[in-house]
Amino acid sequence: DTGVSQDPRHKITKRGQNVTFRCDPISEHNRLYWYRQTLGQGPEFLTYFQNEAQLEKSRLLSDRFSAERPKGSFSTLEIQRTEQGDSAMYLCASSLGSVHYEQYFGPGTRLTVT
């Protein structure tokens, strides 16, 4: 499968624990995006990387959230001290960049905080 992949697909954690998600974009896509989707809503932008540089962060991204893309390939999203309000689907998307705007989504990681 040459599409965007995410791991894990599901994560159940207790409040206060830290969690980390991974996203592998489509090969050669230099732009990578993280979105969050709650039930019945559209995805909401969290952050964006062009290669290894994190160029934009949403105000939705509190200090407990951090994202990295160390070598400009895969990316990780870490949530520290999880809260019940963090329960959501975390989606990753990638695009080729430049004039290629199309974003392709991964299957998402569903986080449940108990």
Partner 1 sequence: GENVEQHPSTLSVQEGDSAVIKCTYSDSASNYFPWYKQELGKRPQLIIDIRSNVGEKKDQRIAVTLNKTAKHFSLHITETQPEDSAVYFCAANRGRGNAGNMLTFGGGTRLMVKP
Please report how close the Cβ of residue 16 comes to partner 1 at its closest, in angstroms: 28
**106 near partner 1 (CB under 8 A):** yes
**Strands 88-95 vs 104-105: parallel, antiparallel or unpaired:** antiparallel
How many binding residues for partner 1 (CB under 8 A)? 25
- Per-residue binder mask for partner 1 (CB under 8 A), 70-89, x = binder: --------------------
- Per-residue binder mask for partner 1 (CB under 8 A), 4-43, x = binder: x--------------------------x-x-x----xxxx
Q: Comparing C-alpha atoms, which of 60, 55, 90 is closest to residue 72?
A: 55
65, 59 contact by CB (below 8 A)? no
**How far is it, in rounded angstroms, from Cα 43 to Cα 101?**
17
Cis peptide before 70 (omega within 30 of 0): no
Point out which residues bind partner 1 (CB under 8 A).
4, 31, 33, 35, 40-45, 48, 50, 55-56, 91, 95, 97, 101-108
